[in-house]
């Protein structure tokens, strides 16, 4: 019988660790793999979780998990992604307004402008370097999670404070 992973608590505002710039990952080892498993479990435990960054679990490394296959609306995506040292190297297309929420800012949603298409450079869990293009909802999620790695929250990017509202239910 498989052992159940204890789900770690997600850090929420006003915890100052959410505002720190994350450090580059130099070592690709079992600890990194375990952190990805912890992050994925925490992301899946939250309502509507489609992405999570290491700082949300108190880890100051540049790692994140994205899985748009579980999104409420269908979108073209790359499936479950484990991204190490991600860097947006290009963005294009019109900026698109969209409603965002965050596991670390529970009960709030807001309208945020994001690029429609991005090109991302990243490493996998073994340290191999790749590039990928993402668009639409998946690009939005990746931009949101990269912001976490830079100490930026979606509430810093809302178009207007009038667009930041308390989520009902």
Task: Please list the active-site residues.
Answer: 145
| CA dihedral sign, ordered 90, 94, 97, 99 | negative
Which helix (H) or strand (E) segment holds residue 39: the answer is: helix 30-45
C-beta of residue 88 within 8 angstroms of C-beta of residue 119: yes
Closest CA to 144 of 36, 45, 64, 41: 64
| CA dihedral sign, ordered 27, 124, 10, 45 | negative
**97: number of CA atoms within 13 Å, CB side?**
7
Helix locations, 77-118, DSSP H = none
Q: Is 165 left (phi over 0), alpha (psi -120 to 50) or beta?
A: beta
C-beta of residue 141 within 8 angstroms of C-beta of residue 66: yes
């Amino acid at each position: 019988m498989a052992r159940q992973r204890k789900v770690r608590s997600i850090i929420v505002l006003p915890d100052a660790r959410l505002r720190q710039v994350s450090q580059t990952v130099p070592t690709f080892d079992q600890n990194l793999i375990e952190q990805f498993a912890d992050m994925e479990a925490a992301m899946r435990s939250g309502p509507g979780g489609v992405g999570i960054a290491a700082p949300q679990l108190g880890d100051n490394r540049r790692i994140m998990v994205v899985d748009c296959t579980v999104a409420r609306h269908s979108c073209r995506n790359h499936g479950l992604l484990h991204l190490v040292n991600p860097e947006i190297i290009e963005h294009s297309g019109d900026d698109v307004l969209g409603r965002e929420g965050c596991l670390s800012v529970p009960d709030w949603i807001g309208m945020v402008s994001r690029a429609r298409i991005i090109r991302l450079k990243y490493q996998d869990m073994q340290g191999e370097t790749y590039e990928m293009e993402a668009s639409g909802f998946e690009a939005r999620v990746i931009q949101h999670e990269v912001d976490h790695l830079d100490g930026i929250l979606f509430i810093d990017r809302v178009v207007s404070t009038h667009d930041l509202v308390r989520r009902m239910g």
